[in-house]
Amino acid sequence: MEVMEALLQRQSVKSYLPTPVEPEKLAQVLEAGRLAPSAFNRQYRRFIVVDDPAVKHLLREKAGAQPMIEEAPVVLVLCATEEPDFVMPCGAYMMLQACALGLGTCWLGAFDAQAVKAVLKIPPQVRVVTMMPLGYHDGTQPRKPRKPLDEIVGHNCY
Residue 134 bridge partners (DSSP): 74, 105
Residue 128 bridge partners (DSSP): 79
pLDDT at 13: 95
Q: Is residue 156 part of a domain?
A: no
pLDDT at 82: 80
Look up the domain containing 118 and give its range: 3-151
Q: Is residue 126 part of a domain?
A: yes
pLDDT at 40: 83
pLDDT at 102: 96
Q: Is residue 128 part of a domain?
A: yes
> The domain spanning residue 54 has which CATH number?
3.40.109.10
CA dist., res. 71 & res. 98, Å (int): 17
Q: Is residue 113 part of a domain?
A: yes
**For the chain, what is the domain count?**
1
Q: Is residue 22 part of a domain?
A: yes
Q: Is residue 157 part of a domain?
A: no
Which is nearest to 76 in space by CA: 17, 19, 22, 130? 130
pLDDT at 131: 95
Q: Which residues of the chain have pLDDT under 50?
A: none
CA dist., res. 88 & res. 84, Å (int): 9
pLDDT at 90: 80
pLDDT at 56: 97
Q: Is residue 60 part of a domain?
A: yes
pLDDT at 158: 92
